[in-house]
Amino acid sequence: MKVTEQLRELESVAETLGVRVSYEPMTGLVSGAGGMCRVKGEYRVIIDRRLRTSERITLLADALRRFDTASIEMPAVVRRALAGGAGNDADDAGRGADSKVRRSA
C-alpha cells in the first residue's frame, strides 16, 4: 500500500472517531510538527503541512493510538501503524497488505 493511501486510511479512521484532521503551516509562534488537542470538546489533530507523507502518517497514528480502534475496519498496514509498528510497503511483502483487518473487541 502506498503511503498516500495509508494516510487517507488514517484520515478515514480519524473521521470515524470524530477527530478532525487539518494541515496548517506551523511557523512563527507556532512551531513543531503538530499534534492532538481538544477545542470546544472536539478532538483535533493539527499537522504541519510541510511534513512529508510518511511523517504525517507517524504523527497521525501517534495521535489516534489514544483511541479505541478495535471495532474499526482498516488495512493491516494501518492497524500496525496504530499499534506502533512500521507501516511501509516492505512490511507488507507477502502478507496481503490490501486485506482489511478487524480485531474483535
Condensed to tens digits (0 to 9), the pLDDT of residues 10-29 reads 999 999 999 999 999 887 76
> Cα 69 to the chain's mean position, in Å?
11
Higher pLDDT pick, 102 / 26: 26
- In this prediction the pTM is 0.77
Q: Using N-to-C axis directions, what is the helix angle for 53-64 and 3-17, rounded to 10°?
A: 30
* β-bridge mates for residue 47, sequence order: 23, 34
- Annotated domain spans of the chain: 3-101
**Can you tell me which residue has the cell 477545542?**
39
Contact 78, 9 (CB under 8 A): yes
pLDDT of res. 30: 64
| CA 58 to chain CA mean position, Å | 7
